Amino acid sequence: MKKVTVVGLGYVGLPTAVHAGESGYIVSGFDLDKDKIISLNNGKSYIEDISNQRISNLLDKNLLKVFNKIEDIDSTDVFLVCVPTPLSSDRNPDLSYLEAASSAVSKVLKPGGLVIIESTVEPGTVRNFVIPILVKGSKLKLDDFLVAYSPERIDPGNQHWNLSNVPKLVSGFNSEALEKAISFYRLFVGNLFNCSSLEIAETAKLLENSFRFINISFVNELSMFCSKIGIEINEVISAAATKPYGFMPFYPGVGIGGHCIPVDPIYLSAKSKEIGAPSRFIDLADDINKNMPEYFVSKAEKKLGGIKGKKILVIGVAYKPNVADTRESPVKSLILGLRSKGATVFWHDELVKQWNFESSVGLENGYDLAILATPHSGIDLSKIGNTPFIDTRKSI
């Protein structure tokens, strides 16, 4: 197994392609976004965690080539499918990207090939959704190729935990697929954990992020309580975190964003409803999370005695500090909520710069209110002077 094709070159696929190439695999990257292909062919990375130099090094050594037509890729031993699995407009699992990627792979899949799905899915999706697409499109029998599932664990902007040192779950449709997938990952992932079935790995991924989703939502609710009684939530968390067992700190904010935490639990909830199992914790956490932006709109109204006609600056629109990623950012709902009440809203984010056909403005005085939503490192809040201020990460 020397030739690898990575399908989807986003926040998961590109780091995976780079790590695989740096470990000696000959990597082909496939993405329908022509701008990404042009950028990479020019040695330019569009992801903070991957430097331009790493891309250029792989291109120079012919260990990475990128395409926007999968038919242009030479024979491949391993396909890695790293496409988004978002929510639809009615907040149901959207497998359209996975369906399209699986169909594309099926057209070039050869006997003996290994297909590994890294996208987050409901339990049973690889077995009952992906494999039939591969069989139909390739016109091969299931015995002719191998299928594995290894959910991504990418945390954009994390300076300590990355693809090489985060333990990786691996499962296979059969023992041969599991063995081949482990052999593939072993070259660039330090710690592999075997799961006995596809469904265990699929469910484990959903558990990881549902755990975080529920606990962050709980702390957001507790932050409202602390605000009511006039104490600072972060001091409460720090005090509780001195307990050396049975407690893990989570922190409040304007809501939960990103490609995983606000999305993956809904996949688990959808499957629960399908099979008639309860998912009340997830549903309650989802309700709390969706209402957090409105809570801060109300807080702004209370602070100013109404916000109609007021100029408000929202600071930070990315879903988390120190990345330019705005996927599922709760700040969008915050801004829309403020505008629905008649406020004129501007936003500042030195990393994002352009978002929703709007541009970041400078930090300065002269606003009726500033709301800190996402605090990137090094932000100089002194520039807003004596502007009234709300910090969504604090309760008072």
Report DSSP letters for 58-88, one per residue.
HHHTT-EEEES-GGGS---SEEEE-----B-
pLDDT at 374 over 80: yes
- Over residues 295-299, mean pLDDT: 98
- Over residues 354-378, mean pLDDT: 96
The confidence score (pLDDT) of residue 259 equals 87
Domain boundaries, the chain: 3-196, 222-391
Return contacts of 100-104, CB within 8 angstroms, 24+ apart: 101/7, 101/8, 102/130, 102/133, 102/134, 102/137, 103/133, 103/137, 104/7, 104/30, 104/70
Matching fold, domains 3-196 and 222-391 = yes
Q: Which alpha helices (DSSP H) does the chain contain, by range?
A: 13-22, 34-41, 52-60, 96-108, 125, 131-138, 175-185, 198-229, 233-240, 264-275, 280-304, 331-340
* Contacts of residue 334, Cβ cutoff 8 Å, sequence gap at least 6: 254, 255, 293, 296, 297, 314, 371, 373
Banded pLDDT at 262 (limits 50, 70, 90): very high
Give percent of the chain with pLDDT exceeding 70. 100
Q: Which residues of 259-297 are buried (b: 16+ CB within 10 A; e: fewer)?
A: bbbbbbbbbbbbbbeeeeeebebbeebbebbbbbbebbb
Provide Rg for the chain, Cα atoms. Answer: 23
The confidence score (pLDDT) of residue 1 equals 66
User: 374 near 319, Cβ under 8 Å?
Assistant: yes
- The first and second tokens of residue 316, run together, are 């930070």
CATH 3.40.640.10 fits 3-196, yes or no: no
Banded pLDDT at 159 (limits 50, 70, 90): confident
Give percent of the chain with pLDDT exceeding 90. 97
pLDDT tens for each residue of 166-215: 999 999 999 999 999 999 999 999 999 999 999 999 999 999 999 999 99
Banded pLDDT at 39 (limits 50, 70, 90): very high
The confidence score (pLDDT) of residue 320 equals 94
Side chain identity, residue 120: T
Mean residue pLDDT of the chain comes to: 96
Q: Specify the pTM.
A: 0.94
Banded pLDDT at 74 (limits 50, 70, 90): confident
* Contacts of residue 56, Cβ cutoff 8 Å, sequence gap at least 6: 43
Give the residue carrying structure tokens 């009440």.
341
Side chain identity, residue 341: K
- The first and second tokens of residue 207, run together, are 């558990």
**Active centre residues (catalytic):** 260
Of the CA atoms within 13 Å of residue 396, those in its CB half-sphere come to 12
Domain 222-391: CATH superfamily, name plus number: NAD(P)-binding Rossmann-like Domain (3.40.50.720)
- Over residues 122-151, mean pLDDT: 97
Q: How many CB atoms lie within 10 A of CB 24?
A: 12
